Structure 1
Amino acid sequence: MTRISDLPQTLPVFPLPGALLLPRARLPLHIFEPRYLQMLDDCLKTESRLIGMIQPQPARNAGDADIPPVHRIGCAGRITQFSETEDGRYMITLTGISRFRTTGEIDGFHPYRKFRVDWTGFERDQGSAERDSDFDRDSLMRLLDRYFTARDLSADWETMREADDELLINSLAMLMDFSPEDKQALLEAPSLSTRRETLVTLIEYALRGGEGDIMQ
């Protein structure tokens, strides 16, 4: 278990729309932009090897196009797999460690964005896997069957039936094609139960043919 006292007070941050990382989950990333190649090189030199994943907010004015605002809450992931392609790109896997709250952006000469962060309030993220005592798996499976059928998608149903509560709910939250704002709502859910409730609401809304973000 990672302790808050062991976590850094600053983080390089990767604002990638729709890319959701959750504690104890794994997120594969393909790094090729020069600024993020530099971020990765710098990160690999640190003891923690942490990168913060965060959702950009919708641009409010023309100036936001260059430096878009970001949500205050993100999730830090440790680089746990790393490979380099022949043309200099990186394939990495981040393993979610803990959510964080940004407290201010750090100006500097680095081409990527860096923030001061606060880990307070997310102590549960650094513990063991959560359980969802009210989880009705059969009901979720029926809902997913309707969703996948409507979109002509396939699924490994046996694996989903056997997966632990947290692995199943978080994997669905990360993989399903929701908007960045809805992904942020899933990230900010205070417990696994509320994340599952949010996930079900999003799927039901999509099945009704809803448009736009229901979490606005």
Structure 2
Amino acid sequence: MISQKDLPETIPVFPLPGALMLPRARLPLHIFEPRYLAMIEDCMKTKTRLIGMVQPRETPGGEKRLHSIGCAGRLTGFSETEDGRYMITLTGTSRFRIREEVQGFSPYRRCTVDWAGFGRDISTTEETDAGFDRDAFLGLLGRYLAAMKLSTDWGNLREADTELLINSLSMLCPFTPEDKQALLEAPSLSTRRETLVTLIEFALRGGSGEEVIQ
């Protein structure tokens, strides 16, 4: 288990559009680009084995930037294919705020980060949501999945702990990168659930003020 004081000042970052990492959730990734293969190899040599997942963004002038808030995951699963690709699993550890990008020779990007303000993320205790109405939420979700022609294991959804349910859906639903960023930056599980519901309702309205998907 990583404690707050063990979190490093500098971490490698992986800017991957639409790939959302959240505390205590697991994110499987398929790594094949040489620079990210090198990142994984270097990561496995460190004590914390942390990689920061960050949403890239483009400025109005077309400049490639990173969102200021990301989430670090600990490398907890690793396998190598016969042709040299890596299949890894990251387990969400804590969100962070980027201070600055580290300049210097490295095939992948690195940033100095600030972990302040995200102390609750590092806890092993799952977050709760007192206002969560599971039946109403699953009803809305059912309409959304039907509209998107997606299937799911309803037995697992009904039995899943609240945090796992909300965070897993936040990570898996096909929202835009900006929507994923909004879910990441939600200050609590309750506000993440509210954001998730808003995004689902918006999708059911076809992105307009009128409900068009039944």
Judge same fold: TM > 0.5, yes or no.
yes
Deviation per CA, 1:132-170, whole angstroms, max 9, x where unpaired?
111000011110111111122211111101100000000
Work out whether 1:165 is the aligned partner of 2:166: no
3-state DSSP of counterpart to 1:22: coil
Give 1:75's aligned residue: 71
Give ranges in structure 1 of 5+ residues lacking alignment: 212-216
CA distance in 2 between counterparts of 1:186 and 1:148 reads: 19
Give 2:212's aligned residue: none
Work out whether 1:134 is the aligned partner of 2:120: no
CA contact (8 A) 2:53 2:70 kept: yes
Work out whether 1:122 is the aligned partner of 2:85: no
The residue identity in structure 2 corresponding to 1:77 is G
3-state DSSP of counterpart to 2:56: coil
Give 1:10's aligned residue: 10
CA distance in 1 between counterparts of 2:31 and 2:101 reads: 22
Q: How many residues align?
A: 207
The residue identity in structure 2 corresponding to 1:130 is E
CA distance in 1 between counterparts of 2:60 and 2:31 reads: 27
Work out whether 1:109 is the aligned partner of 2:115: no
Give 1:143's aligned residue: 140
Give 1:23's aligned residue: 23
Give ranges in structure 2 of 5+ residues lacking alignment: 209-214
- Identity of aligned pairs, percent? 68
TM (normalized to structure 2)? 0.94
How far residue 183 of structure 1 moved from its aligned partner, in angstroms, is 0.1
CA contact (8 A) 2:2 2:48 kept: no
The residue identity in structure 2 corresponding to 1:24 is R
Give 1:194's aligned residue: 191
3-state DSSP of counterpart to 1:186: helix
1:208 is aligned, of 201, 205, 208, to 205
- Using a 3 Å threshold, how does the CA distance of structure 1 residues 189 and 89 change in structure 2: closer, same or farther? same
3-state DSSP of counterpart to 1:158: helix
How far residue 59 of structure 1 moved from its aligned partner, in angstroms, is 4.2
Give 1:44's aligned residue: 44
3-state DSSP of counterpart to 1:27: strand
The residue identity in structure 1 corresponding to 2:129 is D
Give 2:82's aligned residue: 86
**Larger displacement relative to structure 2 (200-209 or 155-164):** 155-164
CA RMSD of aligned residues (A): 1.0
3-state DSSP of counterpart to 1:69: strand
The residue identity in structure 2 corresponding to 1:41 is E
Deviation per CA, 1:113-148, whole angstroms, max 9, x where unpaired?
000000000000011110111100001111011111
